[in-house]
């Protein structure tokens, strides 16, 4: 019986890996794999630091499983280059890669070829999305529209005065409709400005 590691990645804390986990567990069961490890990252695919993937690769080098199951090939790597590096290392240490969505299995040469093609298409799609977002931001800027959050309209003197009167950060935040962190930053900036005078 082959030992399987499952790897899930979701892009934000608002998303849940349970859907990926359900599909991967079902696939492992159908193939007769024993699931020995499950790894999850809640992080953008573009981020270089991925603790779950790093742990998976460390365990792979230690021979703790025989096959890696992922929900989709774009879940495991941030670029085609990174994807190929991961696949090359897995192949070098005799660990198979299986993707649920694309139904790819690197146990054979056709699976390896398909993985490279799909990785290239996924990277192209990601780059096109980034370029569309940038183009939209450029257009909005040319049209004079504000991009991003509107700056807070703060009465800094009133915030500092309220603090000097002994009000708590929470009371000041509630009174001015801002966060405690913003109150703290205003007071800290006021103290820094007073120290330089």
SS3 10: strand
Residue 195: band (very low, low, confident or very high) from pLDDT cuts 50, 70, 90: confident
SS3 39: strand
Q: Is the pLDDT of residue 3 over 80?
A: yes
Which pLDDT tens digit goes with each residue over 19-65? 889 999 999 999 999 999 999 988 775 666 788 999 999 999 999 99
Separation CA 97–CA 91 (nearest Å): 8
Query: Can you identify the CATH homologous superfamily of domain 3-125?
Result: Resolvase, N-terminal catalytic domain (3.40.50.1390)
Domain boundaries, the chain: 3-125, 156-196
Cβ pair 34, 4 in contact under 8 A? yes
Q: Taking phi first (over 0 means left), then psi (-120 to 50 degrees means alpha), and beta for anything else, what does residue 189 get?
A: alpha
Cβ count within 10 A of residue 15: 12
**Residues with catalytic function:** 11
For residues 52 and 85, the model is more confident at 52
């Amino acid at each position: 019986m082959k030992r399987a590691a499952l790897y899930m990645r979701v892009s934000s804390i608002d998303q849940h890996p349970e859907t990926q986990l359900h599909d991967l567990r079902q696939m492992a069961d159908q193939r007769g794999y024993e699931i020995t490890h499950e790894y999850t990252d809640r992080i953008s695919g573009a981020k270089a630091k991925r603790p779950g993937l790093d742990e998976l690769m460390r365990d792979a080098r230690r021979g703790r499983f025989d096959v890696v199951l992922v929900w989709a090939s774009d879940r495991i790597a941030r670029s085609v280059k990174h994807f190929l590096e991961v696949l090359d290392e897995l192949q070098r240490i005799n660990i198979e890669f299986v993707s649920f969505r694309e139904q790819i299995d690197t146990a054979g040469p056709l699976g390896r070829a398909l993985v490279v093609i799909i990785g290239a298409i996924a990277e192209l799609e990601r780059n096109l999305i980034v370029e569309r977002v940038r183009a939209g931001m450029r257009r909005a800027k040319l049209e004079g529209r504000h991009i991003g959050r509107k700056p807070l309209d703060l009465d800094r003197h009133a915030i500092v005065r309220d603090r000097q009167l002994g009000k708590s950060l929470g009371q000041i935040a509630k009174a001015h409709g801002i966060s405690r962190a913003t109150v703290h930053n205003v007071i800290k900036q006021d103290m820094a400005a007073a120290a330089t005078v």
